[in-house]
Amino acid sequence: RVLGRTIDTSGLEAQPPDTAGRCFAFQKPAEDLPFYSDLALQQRPCYLTYSNERTAEIVRANLTRSPMYSGRIHGTGARYCPSFEDKVVRFPERLRHHIYLEPEGNGTDEYYLNGISTSLPVDVQWQMVRSLPGLEQAQISRYAYAIEYDFVPPHQLAPDMSCRLWPNLFLAGQINGTSGYEEAAAQGLLAGINAALAAAGRESEALRLGREQAYIGVMVDDLVTKDIVEPYRLFTSRAEYRLTLRQDNADRRLTAIGYKLGLVPRERLEAVEDLERQIDDWRGRLAAIRLDGHSVWELMSHPDFVYGAHDSLPKLPPRVAEQLEIEARYGGYIARQEKEIQSQAKLESCPIPPDFNYDIPGLSAEAKTKLQKRRPSSLGQASRLDGVTPAEISVLQIHLLRLSRSASK
């Protein structure tokens, strides 16, 4: 971090903030919040500067002093947050790199230098920072550093975030092999919920979100089924059901689950239920209204149709309008995705006993090893393991069916 009063921003490119945004909560529009106007007034710009050949020379001359290049740190770093040393070494053809100066907040004069993370010694950091345009006189308030941390092998982690060897121990954050604030926070939420349920003797009610329900479900499923060879970051590209896992429908997907667990008050559940009724009602009404020989619902699927541009049409509640416009425009794709989800649900709903013996005919040695090590909780989870083929999933399905029938006799 550097002190803002020591930065010369006169020659830097200012990047203004967004003036409107979506709140995490859905109860009220952002504009209705009492602090919204004050918050908008307090927004501050970021600034963009660039490294140069002088910066790169400083790094190259001191590479042997970097723990990452001297052999003191052996772990694989985060792929999407490379150190500045990595940028210089891996991309020698690049003459400059973006460095973003980001204000830490309204209650501090500190700026975060995004894009120049480093493990080089303090004296080198001074040289690097002061080689940047606008920071020739900058004062560093907090130095950069690098850490190397151990993590629990994914096969020791259960889908409810508990440790398989010690079921009453719940893990969250970097110890599970992830990198990033949101990733750690999401795991903490899930682990906290399930730890509380376990402490209350309600282990059978443990929250396990599916890949089709939430990005948390995608992340946890990836952690317990895939080999983690580098710090894990969650991206939308990791989710196969992105059209369903939208930021605009999180309350429609998850409020009922939260209410069942006692995390969401009744009034919030009722608000979502009322929203669903309004959406269903307006969908039917719009299908019955004709405009230029077509139903309005049909017209809304056209990308060039703007509902608000037609004064003759009834005014829709803003949230209802948003949801219906998305549904109308992407309805065909969403319906196709729903079919995929339903097909996969058959595998997800087929549990595998924790003590299941995988030494059965029809499974390759690789599949047996992977399944014994990972101990998937369902057939769906088993289908996502590397080294397990669709044919072997069919073999497993047959054996599980036989096991179920014999148990019911």
- My answer on whether 121 and 184 are in the same domain is no
Stretch (H or E) spanning 353? none
260 contact partners, CB below 8 Å, separation of at least 6: none
The CA distance from 327 to 342, in Å, is 19
> For residue 341, what are its two tokens?
């989800």
Of the pLDDT bands very low, low, confident and very high (cuts 50, 70, 90), residue 245 is: very high
- The reply to whether 33 falls in a domain is yes
**pLDDT of amino acid 20:** 60
Q: What is the CATH number of the domain that holds 320?
A: 1.10.10.1800
Contact predicate 109/4, CB 8 Å:
yes
**Residue-wise pLDDT tens digits, 360-375:** 998 999 899 989 988 9
- My answer on whether 197 and 166 are in the same domain is yes
- My answer on whether 357 and 292 are in the same domain is no
**pLDDT of amino acid 209:** 96
- The reply to whether 261 falls in a domain is no
- My answer on whether 329 and 383 are in the same domain is no
- My answer on whether 384 and 399 are in the same domain is yes
Is 388 exposed, middle or buried, given 0-12, 13-18 or 19+ CB atoms closer than 10 A? Answer: buried
The CA distance from 86 to 63, in Å, is 10
**Residue-wise pLDDT tens digits, 120-175:** 999 999 999 999 999 999 999 999 998 888 899 888 999 999 999 999 999 999 99
The CA distance from 174 to 106, in Å, is 29
8-state DSSP, 249 = G
By residue range, what is the domain housing residue 357?
350-408
Of the pLDDT bands very low, low, confident and very high (cuts 50, 70, 90), residue 402 is: confident
**Residue-wise pLDDT tens digits, 38-94:** 665 678 899 999 999 999 999 999 999 998 777 777 767 777 788 999 999 999 999
Q: Is the pLDDT of residue 22 over 90?
A: no
Contact predicate 161/173, CB 8 Å:
no
Torsion angles phi and psi, residue 2, rounded to 5: -125, 160
The CA distance from 394 to 409, in Å, is 23
- My answer on whether 15 and 123 are in the same domain is yes
The CA distance from 309 to 313, in Å, is 9
Distances 216 to 183, 314, 345, 349 between C-alpha atoms, Å: 8, 38, 18, 19
Of the pLDDT bands very low, low, confident and very high (cuts 50, 70, 90), residue 213 is: very high
